[in-house]
Structure 1
Amino acid sequence: MTSFVSHTTVDCHHAYELSEWWKALLGYVDVEDDPNEPGHEECTIVDPGTGHSILFLEVPDAELPAKRIHFDLRPREGSRDEEVERVRALGAREVADHRGEWGPGTGWVVFEDPEGNQFCILRSPAEIDAGSAG
């Protein structure tokens, strides 16, 4: 079992404004049927050629952390919870567990690699397709 990078996440103070700036720089576009709008706390832009996406996520901290960019990973097969156990076995350090905070089947788990770089394990595409919330 392995994971793939679902998207790259940028922690920021103004998600909409920053996503618009990067969209102009990179030639990315809004997600079809889910346009970014002023005031949105989460804004995703997508490369129309490769499908790579960047999520701009507003964080409440007055000072943004030094490590503001991280990967969000999805299991290629199996479930998020199985991948969480595999990642632990590889020696990643768990930072925060947000599973179930917004109802059954929701959330993610935040880890650090051996050098302290954070990444999140999200639900698998199969779990999303199965219709579980979040």
Structure 2
Amino acid sequence: MSVFVSHTSIDCHDAYALSEWWRRILDYGTDPEDPNLPGHEECAIFDPDTGHTLLFLEVPDAELPAKRIHFDVRPRERTQEQEIRWLEEQGATLVADHRGQYGPGTGWLTMADPEGNQFCVLKSLAERAHVPSPDPQAPQ
């Protein structure tokens, strides 16, 4: 027997604000029968196509626990560069640029959401199809 992932939980200071930020970024939905509202200590969003669910949980601690989970996001419609610019317009900040690390056209960019949670921006599937990876272990 095995288990499956029900949802991904994210500790934060403002569950509503952070869930709304990620909802816009990922184009996720909310449950109309259990809407997320300002002041809610738990806010869930989900992918309407796959059902993947993110649950944002407020914690009272001034310091959030060590960040052990992060997202790797891939553009659905834009290029990696267009996605990076759009994310910056939405309030994401640059942490580290790993583009070109495994040769021209490879790599990713590490960014942070408004509460400092890091995530990586990969190439779109269309871009990835046009770049041969010199290292099969290299993320694209």
TM-score by length of 2: 0.48
| Greater relative contact order (Cα < 8 A, sep 6+) | 1
TM-score by length of 1: 0.50
Larger Rg: 2
